[in-house]
Amino acid sequence: MIVSIPKETLPGEKRVALIPANIQALSKRGLEIIVEQGAGENAGYLDSAYQEAGAKIVSRQDVFSQGEIVIQVQSFGANKRTADEDLGLLRQDQIIIGAMDPLGNPENARVLSGRGVTAIALELVPRISRAQSMDILSSMATLSGYKSVLIGAMELPRIFPMMMTAAGTLAASRVFIMGAGVAGLQACATAKRLGAIVEAYDVRPAAAEQIVSVGAKPIVLDLDTESSEDKGGYAKEQGEDFLRRQRELMTEVVARQDLVITTAAVPGAKSPILVTADMVRAMRPGSVIVDLAAERGGNCELTRLGETVVEHGVTIIGPDNLPATVPAHASQLYGKNIETLLNLLITEEGSLNLDFEDEIFQDTVIAHGGDVPQTRMRELLGLAPLAAPQPEETSTITDSPSEETEENN
């Protein structure tokens, strides 16, 4: 089995899908790894390190022509700027693995199925215990939460910790995190370590205990939040009446903060507006907002993706692809996610184990055999549900006391 790693082509993307440590582990299982020349350089992993780990350095053409499994960080669908250049390099029955933004760009599944490839979209890894080590959303969100606090601290005209000096006492900065998922909790922990007074809010009531566990104070609003969480543990999209009431109650909380970090995102949907222009106007001059939901439109009404703007004396930052700004550790985490997935996908004997009875593959395979097998993707594309496998017809044998039924798997 040949596994290949292309160099990322999206501008600003410095991560690589596998690092040399992953190559060593996978090579021991008998896999052959080929890596495009220079694929890991931007993350600090040189070609020589890959070769020492057992990989072969090849051209981009060879990566696609030889690889039976092609693994990327930003693959077709997620990379909307340059990935289409590689479509012509795909061949039938090839397996493509990577981030594909399937819910935000469902048509991509139809395109890939038309090429006859099998596509595994890593954003759809289910939130079950045995899949945690394959979850790229969680591993990348950890880094985004950490980095967002550093960005805010650099922009804020204050320091985070309280200091008592001969020249007077400096009050600690107040930091407020909106959304207590993986990114939000890491932001809470990072801000707390830097000495800030940290508060956080999440629409899911169960998040309060997690907020306390990282040293922050949970903010509780008088809202009905019983239906705020889906079965996968993600926050559900809320109606406009709920969001309007939430903004009304949140205005006073936001006004007293020095740094606000927003992280609320709904998979496949536009980010909810949590901070309006009026709320920004009520903040103190010199305050800062870092909007981690900028890539989906932003939680702040005034956010602009990839830009830093100043409105009403408040600095609003809309970062784009924060994990790529720490590519060494981001690649390390991403590579471990991939290594774990490959250990499930490929048997010890080196054969393919694409088991559609497994929930992980049911949820993540968005193209296979010229079709779109994933249930939610079919709904988004307006495709009819796939027929359930039917058992084979049974026949009665007159000289036997029993009948046997063989299920068609």
Cβ atoms of 100 and 121 within 8 Å: the answer is yes
At residue 333, φ and ψ (nearest 5 deg) are: -70, -45
Alpha helices (H) along 35-135: 47-53, 60-66, 107-114
How many other β-carbons are positioned within 10 Å of the β-carbon of residue 146?
19
Kindly report, residue by residue over 306-339, the tens digit of the pLDDT. Answer: 999 999 999 999 999 999 999 999 999 999 999 9
374 carries an active-site annotation: no
> Which residue pairs, CB below 8 angstroms and at least 24 apart, start in 251-256?
251/278, 251/279, 251/282, 253/176, 253/199, 253/201, 253/219, 254/176, 254/279, 254/282, 254/283, 255/279, 255/282, 255/283, 255/284, 256/174
138 carries an active-site annotation: yes
How many other β-carbons are positioned within 10 Å of the β-carbon of residue 81?
12
Which tokens sit at 187? 């932001």
Of the candidates 313, 311, 258, the one whose C-alpha atom is nearest the C-alpha of residue 285 is: 313
Helices 327-345/20-27 angle, 10° precision: 20
pLDDT over 50 at 404, yes or no: no
pLDDT of residue 398: 42
Strands 69-74 and 288-291: unpaired
Query: Could you tell me the domains of the chain?
Result: 2-134+327-381 (3.40.50.720), 141-320 (3.40.50.720)
pLDDT over 80 at 406, yes or no: no
Q: Which of 110, 127, 193, 376 is catalytic?
A: 127
204 carries an active-site annotation: no
Q: Which of 4, 72, 74, 135 is catalytic?
A: 135
Kindly report, residue by residue over 266-309, the tens digit of the pLDDT. Answer: 888 899 999 999 999 999 999 999 999 999 999 999 999 999 99
Q: Which of 74, 94, 138, 186 is catalytic?
A: 138
Give the DSSP letter of residue 206: T
Radius of gyration of the chain (CA): 24
